[in-house]
Chain A
Amino acid sequence: MPGRYTITRDDVAHVAELARLELSEAELDMFTEQLGAVLGHAADVAALDLAGVPPTSHALALTNVLRPDEPRPCLDRTEVLVAAPSVEDDRFRVPSIMGEAP
């Protein structure tokens, strides 16, 4: 089914927006071509009839792991905050969200 799974320039612009990336016009062209080539290769997978085959999302049969609910030391706050781009009153500081006044 050639063409069915081809990624368009608009698709690339859309996923870039979802992924919070800004692309130049030239980058849009480049990524559309490159992602198209990779997805074209993946067409062999997309075309397989695997109805009834269960998905494997993980190599291990994962079970939830809980530790005893006991107090113990956590990361040092100063050491954590020193890595942050902006800090105020021992908290991470960010620019305004939702358009409210800073």
Chain B
Amino acid sequence: MSSTGSPASPAFDLADDVRAGRRRAVDVVEASLAAIAEREPELHCFNLVLADSARQRAAEIDRMVAAGEDPGPLAGVPVALKDNLCTRGIETTCSSRILAGWRPPYDATVVTRLDRAGAVVVGKTNMDEFAMGSSTETSATGPTRNPRDPSRVPGGSSGGSAAAVAAGFAPLALGSDTGGSIRQPAALCGVVGMKPTYGTVSRYGLVAFASSLDQIGPFATTVADAAGMFDVIGGHDPADSTSLDRPTPRVVSVLGDGIEGLTVGVVRELLEGADPDVVARITAAADVCAAAGAHVEEISVPEVRLGLSAYYLIAPAEASSNLARYDGVRYGLRVDAPDAASMNVATRTAGFGAEVKRRIMLGTYALSAGYYDAYYGQALRVRTRIVEGFERAYHQCDVLLGPTSPTTAFPLGERLDDPLAMYLSDVCTIPSNLAGHPAISLPFGTGDDGLPVGAQLLAPALGESLLFRAAAVLEAGAPAGTGGAAGGVA
């Protein structure tokens, strides 16, 4: 990975050092825990720091290396997990009071795959409650702060994972992306975040929010690290009935292939609501693509304008069904009451926060008699239109380019009481979820406020190879001094 001309891959270089015995996993993990000890009280990236189990796992990795065994491609690399990924015997709360103290009886498939690759889990990261939010402020454990400017939000819902990587707590993290929950916080924190094609990464053990949209994906400081992480976690899993039973693209090997001769479409509608300084960065990113030999053209996909409205009917509808399982019977909180029905009501009323209640009620309404066809049915027809719009675009272009978020990181508290303003943060990321397509956000310069701007690349289903090739080109051409981690492990 470190050969001349290849994109930087600090996490995998670190693993190579551990595998070759040049560096001890226990030292790597101590460096991670020291970075956490220093800034975690200010930032609150984690719901749970797993110092003891991380030290034990690191010592095990070192013993394997000493015994001549290969612990795997992520040997000794500290990884942070979003707190909606099930970890056997380790508290998994989704940042909700209703799951406080819950210890799942099984591991998510991605957790098993990371373990087999030799990664060391250092903690469970803070998130918007049940991944519903765009700022990590709806968490029952309190907000995470943006490491680039602690008066700002880190984005969300995977804000803890994005901030943990940006703060240098861990070089890699996992999040989940239902409407932009990996890409938007990656953009706001100045790191790389990627949402894979729906079905390429197993959702087994991911606590469900909106099942037709949810997808797990990586956070990293570089494109190559994100690519390597995708290769580790991707692939068919019989435990997830929506997992694609066909070869998943392997992306690390194509990273250096460039984009000469490809067509990059700059999507006019994604730039429409964006701040002028964000638009300027995306224009500069398009110039980098052109300089790399790509044909760059402006393209119109008017259907994406409808994405936000459709999403905020479809996702709550699915959520209202998925969250019916929190009834105080089998796990999580129970508020006692004389009969089962009042116990259900008391438990859910005490256990869910305001944003989760809003979404459950919105979804229940959109699905209810008399409104089903006007809202939910109509949103599903709009989803068809969005898929068709992308099909047309990909007939003309190989990849698409736009901003990840219309703005840079906004101040804490600014949008919390105005749900519609908060939902508008997701306007550029939602269309990919509705279509099931892959997309990536990478840091590309800063806004007028000095905060990171994320460039977003989109590709058709299973177009991860093209996506990462284009991302590597943009990373190499990005203005100096943006992205990466603020000190820490790698």
Contact = CB atoms under 8 A, between A and B. Distances in A.
Nearest to A4: B374
Interface stretch (B222-230, B383-391, B445-453): B383-391
Interface in B403-447: 419-420, 423, 434-437
Contact of A48 (B334, B340, B378): B378
Contacts of B341: 20, 97
Contacts of A39: 362, 365, 375
Given A18-B368, A85-B333, A59 B434 contact: yes
A94 B343 contact: yes
What is the interface residue range for chain A against chain B?
Answer: 35 or more
Contacts, number: 171
Contacts of B344: 20
B242 interface: yes
Contacts of A56: 380-381, 383-384, 387
B35 interface: no
Contact of A45 (B306, B384, B420, B435): B306
Prevailing SS type, chain B contact patch: helix
Interface in B369-399: 374-375, 377-385, 387
Which residue, B244, B309, B312, B434, has most C-beta atoms of chain A within 10 A? B309
A16 B348 CA distance: 11
A96 B384 contact: no
A95 B337 CA distance: 7
A48 B302 CA distance: 14
A85 to B, nearest CB: 3
* Closest 9 A/B residue pairs (Cβ): A59-B436, A55-B380, A85-B334, A79-B105, A50-B381, A45-B309, A56-B383, A65-B241, A53-B381
Interface of A: 5, 7, 11-12, 14-16, 18-23, 31, 34-35, 37-39, 41-42, 44-46, 48, 50, 53-60, 62, 64-65, 67, 75-76, 79-80, 82-86, 92, 94-97, 99
Given A14-B368, A48-B382, A83-B102, 8 more contacts: A19-B364, A37-B420, A45-B382, A55-B380, A67-B238, A85-B328, A96-B338, A97-B341
